[in-house]
Amino acid sequence: MRMFSQEVYKARREKLKAAMKSGVCIFMGNNEAPMNYPDNCYQFRQDSTFLYFFGIAQAGLKAIIDVDNNRDIIFGDELTVDDIVWMGEVASIKELAARCCVVDVRPAAEFEKYVKAAKAEVHFLPPYRHDNMIFLSSVLDIPIPELQKRSSLPLVKAVVALRNVKEACEIEELKAAAEIGYEMHTTAMKMANDGVSEHEIYGTIEGISLKHGLLTSFHSIVSKNGQILHNHTHENILHTGDLLLNDSGAQTDMGYASDNTRTFPVGGKFSQRQKDVYQIVLNTINGSIPMMKPGETYQSIHLKACEILAEGLKGLGLMKGDMKEAVQLGAHAMFMPHGLGHMMGLDVHDMEDLGQINVGYDEEVQPIKIFGVASLRMGKRLQVGNVLTNEPGIYFVPQLIDIWEREHKFEQFINYAEVDKYRDFGGIRLEDDILITPTGSRIVGDRRIPIEIKDVEEYMNM
Ligand code: GLY
Ligand code: MN
């Protein structure tokens, strides 16, 4: 099991103690998750906050950081010979704990006793796995439906403040994930030819992660129906002239993600109409990455990016009027109903289990509650060390067009007669992962997946 050096985990826990000042902080590791019977499980994935503070990717562990008594404890049961017969020998919990600088290891059953005997306030993070909810509910004597609201906001905030800013060792991991992501994306480009199925490309690129001994960071979206934002079906056969949208990424064995999207023409040649729409999305990503600097709010960058997008759509005759005003009112969201990006790190939507409002927003920047902008997962001021995605898109969603047109919605900004000509166009999204640096920002990884029209065509025809 690969882990960072001991000091990394110790320093993170010390910073957490300094931020919390008092209390008993609970960290629930994940258990194996049965797929169809208890011994046939999904691939194990450790909880990301547990990984952050303890680094041990093993099922069945829990931990406590007891701030008042300055104790870090890992709870879990060592394998018995019955387990070893089936699973082979693995490092003991004691050995693994030593690798994250924890010497206090106790049997799993002692966790409950420790929590129940605690004199100080018990802090826990919002649980998202049902087995952990049932367990916490029983140990803390809190009804399951109340667990979310009784989870600890101070602990959430302290964890977010730490995980927000990526350390040098984490950036190296993210770069490694980006490199596998590059291979996944360029392979998909090369495979996108007439008669090939989406499944074949999906299986091949997920296999690239697997062949490196890794998982993907989320279910790959490989679809010629790019207008369906999170489309997880891959049942179509590709034909020359289709656009294929590939939104996929790898995660390293330590859990760090990549998340990129490219959209490219089956057969390797964009039509003029595809180029026109693609170039608008390209101008939006290329125009908004340089805006990503420490101190800027991502909400304002999202809105500026939407203005670039809307101006492009106006140039194509799909929108009309004042595009600043159109974006303020949300008219552009018929074409881009999602946010410009999200935090990324140990989770592809980093820390989303801790509550989007706590990760992407703060006292200063609050969500804008109109369709489209409301889906922006990250709005707050950018900080050096943040890693987040920039992923604009243009989509033609026939069902959405129908409703808006019937309601005469934003008729002053949307040229429905023109939009109707694009009903079968599909969707285009382009996505890069960006690190905020002291002077601005840069793409995570050593090379950018081909994105300019001529580079994509050249690469696909090489
Ligand atoms: N790449 C999937 C997402 O950002 O939701
Ligand atoms: Mn994304």
Residues composing the chain: 462
pLDDT reading at 457 higher than 90? yes
Q: Let me know the angle formed at the C-alpha of 366 by 174 and 50, rounded to the nearest 5 degrees.
A: 35
- CA dihedral (54, 57, 58, 59) positive or negative: positive
Lowest mean pLDDT among 80-89, 295-304, 336-345, 443-452: 80-89
Q: DSSP letters along 78-121, please? A: PPPHHHHHHH-----HHHHHHTTT--EEE-TTHHHHHHHH--SP
Q: Is 371 in the pocket of ligand 1 (CB under 6 A)?
A: no
The pLDDT confidence band at residue 323, using thresholds 50, 70 and 90, is very high
The pLDDT confidence band at residue 440, using thresholds 50, 70 and 90, is very high
Cα(320) to centroid(ligand 2), Å: 29
Inter-residue contact 256 to 177 (CB < 8 Å):
yes
Per-residue confidence (pLDDT) for residue 404, from 0 to 100: 97
Question: What are the φ/ψ torsions at residue 415 (nearest 5 degrees)?
Answer: -95, 90
Residues 229-287: tens digit of each pLDDT = 988 899 999 999 999 999 999 999 999 999 999 999 999 999 999 999 999 999 999 99
Ligand closest to Cα of 248 equals 1
Per-residue confidence (pLDDT) for residue 387, from 0 to 100: 98
Q: Is 307 in the pocket of ligand 1 (CB under 6 A)?
A: no
Distance CA 280, CA 318 (A): 12
In the chain, count of helices (H) and strands (E)?
Answer: 17, 17
Ligand closest to Cα of 246 equals 1
Q: Is 350 in the pocket of ligand 1 (CB under 6 A)?
A: no
Note the Cα 143 to chain centre separation in Å: 30
The pLDDT confidence band at residue 225, using thresholds 50, 70 and 90, is very high
The pLDDT confidence band at residue 89, using thresholds 50, 70 and 90, is confident
Per-residue confidence (pLDDT) for residue 256, from 0 to 100: 98
Q: What is the DSSP letter of 389?
A: E
Residues 163-214: tens digit of each pLDDT = 999 999 999 999 999 999 999 999 999 999 999 999 999 999 999 999 998 8
Q: Which two tokens stand for residue 250?
A: 């790898």
Q: Is 433 in the pocket of ligand 1 (CB under 6 A)?
A: no
Per-residue confidence (pLDDT) for residue 447, from 0 to 100: 96
Q: Which of 205, 222, 246, 247 to mutate to test the pocket of ligand 1 (most atoms within 8 A of CB)?
A: 247
Question: What are the residues whose beta carbons fall under 8 Å from the beta carbon of 115, sequence distance 6 or more?
Answer: 24, 26, 64, 122, 139, 140
Q: Which of 222, 229, 232, 259 to mutate to test the pocket of ligand 1 (most atoms within 8 A of CB)?
A: 259
Q: Is 259 in the pocket of ligand 1 (CB under 6 A)?
A: yes
Inter-residue contact 460 to 192 (CB < 8 Å):
yes
Q: Is 247 in the pocket of ligand 1 (CB under 6 A)?
A: yes
Average pLDDT over residues 401-423: 97
Distance CA 383, CA 95 (A): 36
Cα(250) to centroid(ligand 1), Å: 12
Atom of ligand 1 nearest to the CA of 341: 4
Residues 119-136: tens digit of each pLDDT = 999 999 999 999 999 999
Any bridge partners for residue 75, and if so which? Answer: 62, 106
Q: Which two tokens stand for residue 301?
A: 């960058």
Note the Cα 207 to chain centre separation in Å: 20
3-state SS assignment for residue 186: helix
Average pLDDT over residues 203-228: 95
pLDDT reading at 368 higher than 90? yes
Q: DSSP letters along 406-456, please? A: HTTTTTTTB-HHHHGGGTT--EEE-BEEEEEETTEEEESSSS----SHHHH
Distance CA 386, CA 345 (A): 9
How many Cα neighbours within 13 Å face the side chain of 453?
Answer: 17
> In terms of DSSP bridges, do strands 104-106 and 71-75 run parallel, antiparallel, or are they unpaired?
parallel
Per-residue confidence (pLDDT) for residue 353, from 0 to 100: 98
Per-residue confidence (pLDDT) for residue 257, from 0 to 100: 98
Question: What are the φ/ψ torsions at residue 364 (nearest 5 degrees)?
Answer: -80, -45
Q: Which one-letter amino acid corresponds to residue 434?
A: I
Inter-residue contact 158 to 53 (CB < 8 Å):
no
Residues 43-78: tens digit of each pLDDT = 999 999 999 999 999 999 999 999 999 999 999 999
pLDDT reading at 86 higher than 90? no
* Residue that the structure tokens 């600890």 belong to: 152
> In terms of DSSP bridges, do strands 24-28 and 122-124 run parallel, antiparallel, or are they unpaired?
parallel
Inter-residue contact 100 to 54 (CB < 8 Å):
yes
Distance CA 337, CA 372 (A): 4
Distance CA 25, CA 19 (A): 12
Exposure string for 303-320, b = 16+ CB within 10 A, e = fewer: bbbbbbbbbbbbebebbb
Nearest to residue 163, comparing CAs of 374, 1, 360?
360
The pLDDT confidence band at residue 144, using thresholds 50, 70 and 90, is very high
Inter-residue contact 373 to 411 (CB < 8 Å):
no
Cα(391) to centroid(ligand 2), Å: 7
Q: Which one-letter amino acid corresponds to residue 46?
A: Q
Q: Is 218 in the pocket of ligand 1 (CB under 6 A)?
A: yes
> pTM for the complete prediction?
0.96
